[in-house]
Amino acid sequence: MTDTKPIAGQTEARFTDIPSVRDALQSVDYLADEGIAGIVYLADRLGKPVLIEGPAGTGKTELAKSVARMTGARLIRLQCYEGLDESKALYEWNYKKQLLRIQAHRVVESEADGAAAAGDGATWQGIEEDIFSDDFLLTRPLLEAIRATDPVVLLIDEVDRVEVETEALLLELLSEYQVSIPELGTVVANQIPLVFLTSNNTRELSEALKRRCLYLHLDYPDLEREKQIVLTRIPDIGDHLADQIVRIVRSLRALELKKHPSVSETLDWARTLVLLGIENIGAEEATSTLHILLKYQSDITKAAKELSVAPNH
Amino acid sequence: MVAVSGPVPGGMLDVLTGFISELRGAGLPVSLTENLDAMEAIQHIPMEDREAFKYALAATLVKSNAHWRAFETVFDVYFSLRGPQWSVDGEDGEASAEAQAAAAEAMADARRQGEGKGGGAMEGLSAEELAEILFKAMMRDDQAMTRAVARESVTRYAGMEPGRPVGGTYYLYRTLRNLDLEGLMKRLMEAAKEEADGGLTPLEERLLKDEYELRIDQLRKEVEAEIRRRLVADRGAEAMAKTLRKPLPENVDFMHATREELVQLRKAVAPLTRKLAVRLARKRRHGRKGPLDFRNTVRHSLSYGGVPAEPKFRYPRPSKPEIMVVADISGSVAAFARFTLHLVHAISSQFSKVRSFVFVDGIDEVTRFFEGVEDITEAIQRVNTEADVIWVDGHSDYGHAFEVFWERWGKEITPKTSVLLLGDARNNYHASQAWIVKEMRKKARHVFWLNPEPKSYWDTGDSIVGEYAAHCDGVFECRNLKQLEGFVEHLA
């Protein structure tokens, strides 16, 4: 299947092996585990987009950004929302400019008047060809990523927010790395960009989309990894404090809450505690700063209760 | 097509094909494209890196997190029998050597000389000594040791005999009973308390408890894996794969779900109702266009040089959907009812006007229990204790319940109301009063019936769902998440 792809100048492999991906990600402060590094590596090798799913705040978008940073590529981002359409995702004709062009032509014509009447058909064709050319095309993120000549990483964020019907718009791009524009023909990618799609799993994505992607589920990191993340992102935190923080967060995630604390919230909390000059978290310190971790009053009450009472065996 | 994807080593190709058909057997949808992707993917993975091999297969073959566990089980079973070079956790590899070293060390602790391989080294130990070693392993979070103990305790306690047609859960139960995990937990906590001078604060105690619980859970998993490994060795991978097949989360029957499964189901319900809300909202937006909006048309005509080329219409004012949920919570549908209440709660958090009613032979409105309540378990508790649903004997009487409903709340059904009836329509041979459903349908926008029973049971015995069905906009079998989703799709 790969050899049928009509891509001019097959993109060269970006990474040599999985550990090197991992190290490179580490160098831009993203701590990847085996699975994450493996998929980024495969995405490059197979030339396939990666669909990242998982709870909010586990570093889905961050992964795409980090890959961009690590490969030194430009990040092109398409934020999805309900009602997103072709003209905002792919391309649009700059109709104002087109109108101007036609008007300008009319002015010239009326000056020349009857003289040009004979060649009318030809000029019309000329105009038509003219106004549907590159100059009048407004590129939107997807087309931009395809036409880029410099290395790019394309991030299609929160793809679950668009309607099922709109998803179809992505399919051609994701499997063939090309975009068909009726008036212009098909634009084929100069290179295969790394593509990341993220989804918060608010709805099931269509089979067609999933089939075209590699799938990565990003869950909350385990204790060790989360601690490492805290230590990397907040250099002036003590080892003991970091350890306590991730343990408390893990306990909170085990509770039945409306929204569990995300990694970014863990980091916010850690930052706050460092700023407050707290070295050791007791029940009091924890409950008084819980609002940084949890965003619902009922969750906060529940967690405060749970944290200050000894468990019964 | 396969040939195009390059030089896959012959043996590999067969192995992978077998694996994929095993996955399909477990109910995972694996398409041909995904199959080819997997073949291509593994060529880029160094053969000796089993963990990466597993992730590569998962990334290409498993496209939903809910299927991950099924994949893992199939993977373990399928590749465990294909010789040591296939096993991910290196059963005979370094992990085991490590375990041996650790075991030997523990032996010294117990003043014994350990020889032989793996769990064999522990053969001479008494039950108390084994428990002691396990305790130490748990304290130190020594995973290699935990694995060795798990292996040994399976040998000792599970009582596995070749060819005995007993499922893995039986062995698991026997082994765990002998390990006395609860006692272990208690001991761990006490030891931790002793260790800390000046005692533990409640917070510290809680954190420690969570930590130990996880470690014990790890032990449980090790034991399970060990039992599975032995069963596979005994009966062969193909046979085992069949017996280990558990229904995928979306196919779990509400009525027969285990506690663990119910927890997962509950998690899946919230997104589903959000989906329902989105669908209904979109339907409103994409609905019929209203009358011409003159002002807006003129405004837009300016960009066409004053020609009203793009007529604009007024959108009809979106009406807020009102939902009335009427649910049977009698014993025959108890498991479903609990789930139903979760569903009701989730629905009421998405829609502004939801009224809920529960009945057995009497009926009561329970909207107030769900209003502003964050904690669903509390709400359910209140529904079960406070709602007045028993009229005579506490056996379902749909006829009477509907009658009362119609009398007291029937007037409040408007053309905007959607009525959801939930129950198995097992009426204990009371009068059906199906005319009420008919009247409801005349007044309401929709009347839908969700039935938790398999379709083949409908209208058998005292089930009279057919009588009601004649007057509903639709009756849906709703036994699992997949069917519930199907219903939501149908609504839109």
Burial of residue A212 (CB within 10 Å: 0-12, 13-18, 19+) is: buried
User: Tens digit of pLDDT for each residue in A190-238?
Assistant: 888 899 999 987 777 888 899 899 999 998 888 888 999 999 888 888 8
Residue B249 lies in a domain: no
**Number of A–B residue contacts, CB under 8 Å:** 120
Q: Which of A83-92, A223-232, B321-330, B374-383 has the highest mean pLDDT?
A: A223-232
Among A92, A88, A87, A43, which Cα is nearest to A63's? A43
Q: Give the tokens for residue A271.
A: 């930052």
Judged by CB atoms within 8 Å, which residues 182-201 of B form the interface with A? 185-186, 189, 201
Over 80: is that where the pLDDT of B378 sits? no
Q: Which of A102-111, B119-128, B208-217, B375-384 has the highest mean pLDDT?
A: B208-217
Judged by CB atoms within 8 Å, which residues 301-340 of B form the interface with A? none
Q: Give the tokens for residue B269.
A: 């319900």
Task: Single out the residue in B59, B86, B113 at which a domain terminates.
Answer: B86
Same domain, B55 and B159: no
Over 90: is that where the pLDDT of B99 sits? no
User: Tens digit of pLDDT for each residue in A152-170?
Assistant: 999 999 998 887 778 888 8
Average per-residue pLDDT for chain A: 84
Average per-residue pLDDT for chain B: 76
Query: How many other C-beta atoms are found inside a 10 Å radius of the C-beta of residue B40?
Result: 22
Among B277, B285, B140, which Cα is nearest to B215's? B140
Q: Give the tokens for residue A99.
A: 């109108």
Over 50: is that where the pLDDT of A137 sits? yes
User: Tens digit of pLDDT for each residue in B431-483?
Assistant: 888 888 888 888 888 888 888 888 888 888 888 888 888 888 888 888 887 88
How far out from the chain centre does Cα A83 lie?
18
> What confidence category does residue A289 fall into, taking pLDDT thresholds of 50, 70 and 90?
confident
Contact A307 B203 (CB under 8 A): yes
**How far apart, in whole angstroms, are the C-alpha atoms of residue B174 and residue B34?**
41
Over 70: is that where the pLDDT of B146 sits? yes
For the domain with range A2-82+143-217, which CATH number is right: 1.10.10.10, 3.40.50.300, 3.30.70.100, 3.30.70.260? 3.40.50.300
Residue B2 in contact with residue B13, Cβ under 8 Å? yes
Arithmetic mean of pLDDT, B301-321: 76
Arithmetic mean of pLDDT, B286-301: 77
Same domain, B456 and B360: yes
Arithmetic mean of pLDDT, B108-136: 60
Same domain, B81 and B104: no
Contact A282 B201 (CB under 8 A): yes
Same domain, B350 and B393: yes
**How far apart, in whole angstroms, are the C-alpha atoms of residue B101 and residue A313?**
34
Task: Single out the residue in B86, B112, B144 at which a domain terminates.
Answer: B86
Select the residue from B63, B189, B209 to test the A interface by mutation, using most A Cβ atoms within 10 A. B63
Q: Specify the pLDDT at position B279.
A: 64
> Nearest by CB to B52, which of A38, A202, A310?
A38
> What confidence category does residue A6 fall into, taking pLDDT thresholds of 50, 70 and 90?
very low
Same domain, B104 and B184: yes
Q: Specify the pLDDT at position A277.
A: 87
Same domain, B190 and B327: no
Judged by CB atoms within 8 Å, which residues 51-110 of B form the interface with A? 51-52, 55-56, 58-60, 62-65, 68
> Nearest by CB to A283, which of B5, B201, B374?
B201
- How many domains does chain B divide into? 3
What is the least distance, in Å, from the CA of A203 to any CA of chain B? Answer: 7
Q: Specify the pLDDT at position B278.
A: 65
Contact A216 B59 (CB under 8 A): yes
Over 70: is that where the pLDDT of B45 sits? yes
Q: Give the tokens for residue B2.
A: 């396969």
Residue B51 lies in a domain: yes
Q: Give the tokens for residue B371.
A: 């209003």
Over 50: is that where the pLDDT of B91 sits? no
- CA distances in angstroms from B310 to A91, A95, A96, B45, B299, listed in the order given: 21, 15, 16, 56, 10
Contact B209 A210 (CB under 8 A): no
Among A274, A232, A226, A276, which Cα is nearest to A251's? A226
Over 90: is that where the pLDDT of B293 sits? no
Q: What is the DSSP letter of A120?
A: H
Residue B400 lies in a domain: yes
**How far apart, in whole angstroms, are the C-alpha atoms of residue A244 and residue A255?**
17
> Nearest by CB to A201, which of B29, B55, B271?
B271
Contact A251 B207 (CB under 8 A): yes
Share of chain A above pLDDT 90, in %: 19
Quick one: chain A helix, strand, coil %, rounded to 5? 55, 15, 30
Contact A53 B207 (CB under 8 A): no
Residue B282 in contact with residue A83, Cβ under 8 Å? no
Q: Specify the pLDDT at position B375.
A: 65
User: Tens digit of pLDDT for each residue in A22-51?
Assistant: 899 988 888 888 889 999 999 998 889 999
Q: Specify the pLDDT at position A288.
A: 86
Question: What are the two backbone dihedrals, phi and then psi, of residue A195, each rounded to the nearest 5 degrees?
Answer: -120, 130
Contact B33 A313 (CB under 8 A): no
- CA distances in angstroms from B340 to A56, B352, B453, listed in the order given: 27, 19, 14
User: B284 or B387: which carries more pLDDT confidence?
Assistant: B387
Angle of the B481-491 helix axis to the B259-285 helix axis, nearest 10? 10
For A43, residues 6+ apart whose C-beta sits below 8 A from its C-beta are A49, A50, A194, A195, A214
Same domain, B81 and B183: no
pTM value? 0.73
Judged by CB atoms within 8 Å, which residues 23-42 of B form the interface with A? 29, 31, 33-34, 36-37, 40-41
Q: What is the DSSP letter of B386?
A: H
Same domain, B282 and B162: no
Same domain, B414 and B485: yes
Q: Specify the pLDDT at position A2.
A: 38
Report the chain B residue with the minimal C-alpha distance to residue A310.
Answer: B202
Over 60: is that where the pLDDT of B120 sits? no
Q: Specify the pLDDT at position B283.
A: 57
**How far apart, in whole angstroms, are the C-alpha atoms of residue B36 and residue A1?**
9
**How far apart, in whole angstroms, are the C-alpha atoms of residue B129 and residue B117?**
18
**How far apart, in whole angstroms, are the C-alpha atoms of residue A175 and residue A213?**
8
Same domain, B324 and B447: yes
Contact B56 A310 (CB under 8 A): no
Beta-bridge partners for A91: A139
Q: Give the tokens for residue B354.
A: 């939801």
Among B417, B427, B423, which Cα is nearest to B447's? B417
> What confidence category does residue A69 fall into, taking pLDDT thresholds of 50, 70 and 90?
very high
**How far apart, in whole angstroms, are the C-alpha atoms of residue B280 and residue B310?**
28
Residue B368 lies in a domain: yes
Over 80: is that where the pLDDT of B160 sits? no
Question: What are the two backbone dihedrals, phi and then psi, of residue A277, each rounded to the nearest 5 degrees?
Answer: 75, 30
**How far apart, in whole angstroms, are the C-alpha atoms of residue B412 and residue B31?**
50
Same domain, B68 and B184: no
Arithmetic mean of pLDDT, B338-346: 74
| Cβ contacts of A299 on chain B, cutoff 8 Å | 374
Residue A302 in contact with residue A260, Cβ under 8 Å? no
Pairing of strands A194-199, A185-188: unpaired
Q: Specify the pLDDT at position B288.
A: 55
Report the chain B residue with the minimal C-alpha distance to residue A258.
Answer: B374
Q: Give the tokens for residue A126.
A: 């000329």
Query: How many other C-beta atoms are found inside a 10 Å radius of the C-beta of residue A111?
Result: 9
Q: Specify the pLDDT at position B161.
A: 72
Arithmetic mean of pLDDT, B90-101: 46
Contact A281 B203 (CB under 8 A): yes
Contact A2 B5 (CB under 8 A): yes
Pairing of strands A178-181, A185-188: antiparallel
Q: Give the tokens for residue A312.
A: 């019964």
User: B116 or A254: which carries more pLDDT confidence?
Assistant: A254
Contact B59 A202 (CB under 8 A): no
**How far apart, in whole angstroms, are the C-alpha atoms of residue A122 and residue A119?**
6
**How far apart, in whole angstroms, are the C-alpha atoms of residue B236 and residue B233?**
6
Residue B253 lies in a domain: no
Judged by CB atoms within 8 Å, which residues 368-427 of B form the interface with A? 374-375
**How far apart, in whole angstroms, are the C-alpha atoms of residue A136 and residue A114?**
29
Burial of residue B194 (CB within 10 Å: 0-12, 13-18, 19+) is: exposed
Give the domain extent around B145.
94-240
Q: Any idea what the CATH number is for the domain that residue B367 is in?
A: 3.40.50.410
Pairing of strands B353-359, B363-365: antiparallel
Same domain, B132 and B58: no
What is the least distance, in Å, from the CA of A138 to any CA of chain B? Answer: 19
**How far apart, in whole angstroms, are the C-alpha atoms of residue A149 and residue B266?**
48
Lowest mean pLDDT among A13-17, A23-27, A51-55, B113-117: B113-117
For B490, residues 6+ apart whose C-beta sits below 8 A from its C-beta are B474, B476
